[in-house]
Structure 1
Amino acid sequence: MIDLRSDTVTRPAPAMRAAMADAEVGDDVYGEDPTVRALENRVAALFGGRHAGLFTPTGVMANQIAVRLSVAPGEELVLDADAHIVAHEDGAAAWHGGIQTRTALSPRGLLEPADVGRLLRPGDAHTVGTRAVAVEQTHNRGGGSVYPIEQLRAIRELTADAGVALHCDGARIWHAHVATGTPLPAYGELFDTLAVCLSKGLGAPAGSVVLLPADRMAEARRMRHRMGGAMRQAGILAAGGLYALDHHIARLADDHVHARLIADALGDAGLDVVAPETNLVLVRLSEPRPDAATVAERCRAAGVLVSVFGPRLIRIVTHLDVDASAAAKAAEAVVEAAA
């Protein structure tokens, strides 16, 4: 099978497995796992060192901890209507945090500064006050779209003037860094909190890191504990993340090349493709073509897995387990399945 459903389906390479097996460990609930500490410090340093890092088992947990540090129950979080936090986290902000969300429809999921300015509100006896804005870099449902750094700076200026926090769901921020050349510290300086993933494009088996103000760390660790995310000898997982940081960032450019290879082949065959900026390819299936579920089932029969992303939308994601040959074969299968 050529699995293009997500970049979370990768398998740890033998060298990553060896690094995990050899990891020095301790009890992380006591703050005594040296490999976890090394990972947290490494990620914080990569983004400029103004934050402290907290390792979490999942990206959803990382996002939820981050937004709850800024938004209390009954307060408001502003974000794009297709943001992962509202579209793919099972209502966690409302369920766990009692957080109200206010959303805007944005081109490819990228909030426009004017929309942010319009949505921000201070709150009074009759309205809920905005306490944070969240952006997603890169944007999943936008097809891996990338916020230009100047657009993020404009949003930061608006939120700072309003006394509102700015969070980045940076699950795939590594892709934005490689695609645009924007230094990671340039992102780090903009946000009050970030959540960065190690198990998507970087290919670690699990884990994310929340970047947050150091003086909020005790509170964040307690939130993680309440969510069931306080692990013991977690250095075994953290070692996979450290290996990924050392070996898998620059190679993300290969995934972008393979995504364009697939998109070009599908476009040449007459399919409606959203031009990829990074490693995600969205394909719209207008009538009389079959619907997304039918195309996905036909692809599976041909040995290719894709995601159904809507009734007439499929998503294709390239990653480190897919080379150029597999990408070309997958494109052929999708073209045939969509005929």
Structure 2
Amino acid sequence: MIDFRSDTVTKPTPAMRAAMAKAEVGDDVYGDDPTVNRLQDMAADMFGFDSALFVSSGTQANLLALMAHCERGDEYLCGQQAHNYKFEGGGAAVLGSIQPQPLPNQMDGSILLSDIEAAIKPDDIHFARTRLLSLENTIGGKVLSQDYLAKAQTLAFNRGLKIHLDGARVANAAVAQGIAIADITQYFDSVSICLSKGLCAPIGSILLGDERLIAKAIRWRKMLGGGMRQAGIIAAAATLAITDQVERLADDHDNAKRLAMLLTQVDEIDVDVEQVQTNMVFAKLADNINPKRLADALFTKGILISASQQLRLVTHNDISKQDITTFVQQLKHAIVSVK
């Protein structure tokens, strides 16, 4: 299948499978899995933090960060489209008793600094205590500028807030700008990085922070059932994700641009090529095209998309240039068949 639904569908590379097969393992809850420990030490060093924690998912990494930064009754500020507000089951509120304060995301994915400033609550018993600003980069495939991150960090510092990055696709943001991941993570007190999206690991995310935050996160991870045993098997693949797969993301970005350009040739598709910054293409179907019928028609040709009037098409390691050409050809046929 040619699968455009997400970069979460990537399969581990042959090198990852080989590394997993021969990984040295121990019990990670006891802290004695050597492969996990090496991954955590390497990630902390690469991305400029004191400590790192290997966890099962990006959702868990974000939740652990929120719960480590905030106490019950505290509040975090985030974007209306933030993954840790909109797509993570309300975990911060349900499990952490932490109140989210969502703010409008601008077209470029940012949150207006003036909106952030205005949302910070005064020190008053009537209000939740604003403790944390959470940003996401990339967000909707868009890259937050370095200048914006620097200003957001300064605002947070001046107002006594900590600042967290949901960096699920921060590697894409770095590659798109031609900079190192550490150039982005330097602006944050904590960062989550997903290794199982464009970086191709089968499982896992890294949470980065200082020693105190990671110590709290380890305790919360155990309480939430996230302690892992012989996790070196998956940490071996995760290690290759951050050493071998980052620069390759440029190919995904090029393929996304190529896909968007080809879609401009389809009358029933509206796409803005200039909005494609990384590995995501957003395209609007004409109103007379039923997205469910279109997805079903493409499925019969070995192509998977998420059925929606607003298509999100994601390029990744398992999609080639030829796959993109094949998809657009089959899309044209499928549109004719479902009209």
For Structure 1 versus Structure 2, the TM-score category normalised by the shorter chain is over 0.9
- Structure 1: which 5+ runs fail to align? none
Task: Using the TM superposition, give the Cα deviation of residue 298 of structure 1 relative to its aligned residue in structure 2, in angstroms.
Answer: 2.5
What is the aligned partner in structure 2 of residue 272 from structure 1?
Answer: 270
What is the aligned partner in structure 2 of residue 47 from structure 1?
Answer: 47
Distance 1:338 1:68, change over 3 A: farther
Question: Is the CA contact (8 Å cut-off) linking 1:149 and 1:182 kept in structure 2?
Answer: no
User: For 1:268, what is the secondary structure of its paired residue?
Assistant: coil
Task: Using the TM superposition, give the Cα deviation of residue 6 of structure 1 relative to its aligned residue in structure 2, in angstroms.
Answer: 0.9
The AA in structure 2 aligned to 1:65 is L
Question: Is the CA contact (8 Å cut-off) linking 2:156 and 2:163 kept in structure 1?
Answer: yes
What is the aligned partner in structure 2 of residue 88 from structure 1?
Answer: 87
| RMSD of aligned Cα (Å) | 1.5
Task: Using the TM superposition, give the Cα deviation of residue 338 of structure 1 relative to its aligned residue in structure 2, in angstroms.
Answer: 4.3
The AA in structure 2 aligned to 1:300 is F
User: For 2:117, what is the secondary structure of its paired residue?
Assistant: helix
Correspondent of 1:247 among 218, 235, 244: 244
What is the aligned partner in structure 2 of residue 145 from structure 1?
Answer: 142
What is the aligned partner in structure 1 of residue 228 from structure 2?
Answer: 231
User: For 2:9, what is the secondary structure of its paired residue?
Assistant: coil
What is the aligned partner in structure 2 of residue 11 from structure 1?
Answer: 11
Task: Using the TM superposition, give the Cα deviation of residue 32 of structure 1 relative to its aligned residue in structure 2, in angstroms.
Answer: 0.3
What is the aligned partner in structure 2 of residue 132 from structure 1?
Answer: 132
Alpha-carbon separation, structure 1, partners of 2:19 and 2:304: 30
- Structure 2: which 5+ runs fail to align? none
The AA in structure 2 aligned to 1:258 is N
Task: Using the TM superposition, give the Cα deviation of residue 246 of structure 1 relative to its aligned residue in structure 2, in angstroms.
Answer: 2.2
Task: Using the TM superposition, give the Cα deviation of residue 53 of structure 1 relative to its aligned residue in structure 2, in angstroms.
Answer: 0.3
Choose 236-245 or 68-77, whichever is displaced more: 68-77
Alpha-carbon separation, structure 1, partners of 2:93 and 2:335: 38
What is the aligned partner in structure 2 of residue 64 from structure 1?
Answer: 63
User: For 1:107, what is the secondary structure of its paired residue?
Assistant: coil
What is the aligned partner in structure 2 of residue 97 from structure 1?
Answer: 96
Task: Using the TM superposition, give the Cα deviation of residue 122 of structure 1 relative to its aligned residue in structure 2, in angstroms.
Answer: 3.1
Question: Is the CA contact (8 Å cut-off) linking 1:170 and 1:196 kept in structure 2?
Answer: yes
The AA in structure 2 aligned to 1:149 is Q
Choose 231-240 or 15-24, whichever is displaced more: 15-24
What is the aligned partner in structure 2 of residue 117 from structure 1?
Answer: 117
Alpha-carbon separation, structure 1, partners of 2:33 and 2:233: 10
Alpha-carbon separation, structure 1, partners of 2:59 and 2:171: 17
Alpha-carbon separation, structure 2, partners of 1:265 and 1:56: 39
Question: Is the CA contact (8 Å cut-off) linking 1:59 and 1:207 kept in structure 2?
Answer: yes
User: For 2:219, what is the secondary structure of its paired residue?
Assistant: helix
What is the aligned partner in structure 2 of residue 35 from structure 1?
Answer: 35
Choose 172-181 or 96-105, whichever is displaced more: 96-105
User: For 1:217, what is the secondary structure of its paired residue?
Assistant: helix
Question: Is the CA contact (8 Å cut-off) linking 2:208 and 2:214 kept in structure 1?
Answer: no
Alpha-carbon separation, structure 2, partners of 1:335 and 1:151: 40
User: For 1:17, what is the secondary structure of its paired residue?
Assistant: helix
Task: Using the TM superposition, give the Cα deviation of residue 285 of structure 1 relative to its aligned residue in structure 2, in angstroms.
Answer: 2.2
Identity of aligned residues (%): 39
Alpha-carbon separation, structure 1, partners of 2:296 and 2:217: 42
User: For 2:7, what is the secondary structure of its paired residue?
Assistant: coil
Task: Using the TM superposition, give the Cα deviation of residue 273 of structure 1 relative to its aligned residue in structure 2, in angstroms.
Answer: 1.7
How many equivalent residue pairs? 332
What is the aligned partner in structure 2 of residue 158 from structure 1?
Answer: 155
Alpha-carbon separation, structure 1, partners of 2:105 and 2:210: 29
Task: Using the TM superposition, give the Cα deviation of residue 15 of structure 1 relative to its aligned residue in structure 2, in angstroms.
Answer: 1.7
Alpha-carbon separation, structure 1, partners of 2:71 and 2:285: 41
Distance 1:51 1:337, change over 3 A: farther
Choose 119-128 or 7-16, whichever is displaced more: 119-128
User: For 1:307, what is the secondary structure of its paired residue?
Assistant: coil
Question: Is the CA contact (8 Å cut-off) linking 2:33 and 2:232 kept in structure 1?
Answer: yes
The AA in structure 1 aligned to 2:130 is T
Structure 1 residues 273-310: Cα deviation after superposition (integer angstroms, max 9, x where no partner): 2431100111122423x1433332222223211123xx
> Is residue 218 from structure 1 mapped to residue 215 from structure 2 by the alignment?
yes
The AA in structure 2 aligned to 1:295 is L
Correspondent of 1:174 among 171, 176, 181: 171
Structure 1 residues 138-180: Cα deviation after superposition (integer angstroms, max 9, x where no partner): 11xx2x0110011111111111111011110000000001010
Distance 1:191 1:332, change over 3 A: same
Alpha-carbon separation, structure 1, partners of 2:50 and 2:147: 21
Question: Is the CA contact (8 Å cut-off) linking 2:69 and 2:213 kept in structure 1?
Answer: no
Question: Is the CA contact (8 Å cut-off) linking 1:80 and 1:104 kept in structure 2?
Answer: yes
What is the aligned partner in structure 1 of residue 194 from structure 2?
Answer: 197
Structure 1 residues 70-90: Cα deviation after superposition (integer angstroms, max 9, x where no partner): 122221111111111122111
Alpha-carbon separation, structure 2, partners of 1:299 and 1:87: 29
Alpha-carbon separation, structure 2, partners of 1:151 and 1:2: 36
Alpha-carbon separation, structure 2, partners of 1:91 and 1:338: 37
User: For 2:23, what is the secondary structure of its paired residue?
Assistant: coil
TM normalised by structure 1 equals: 0.94
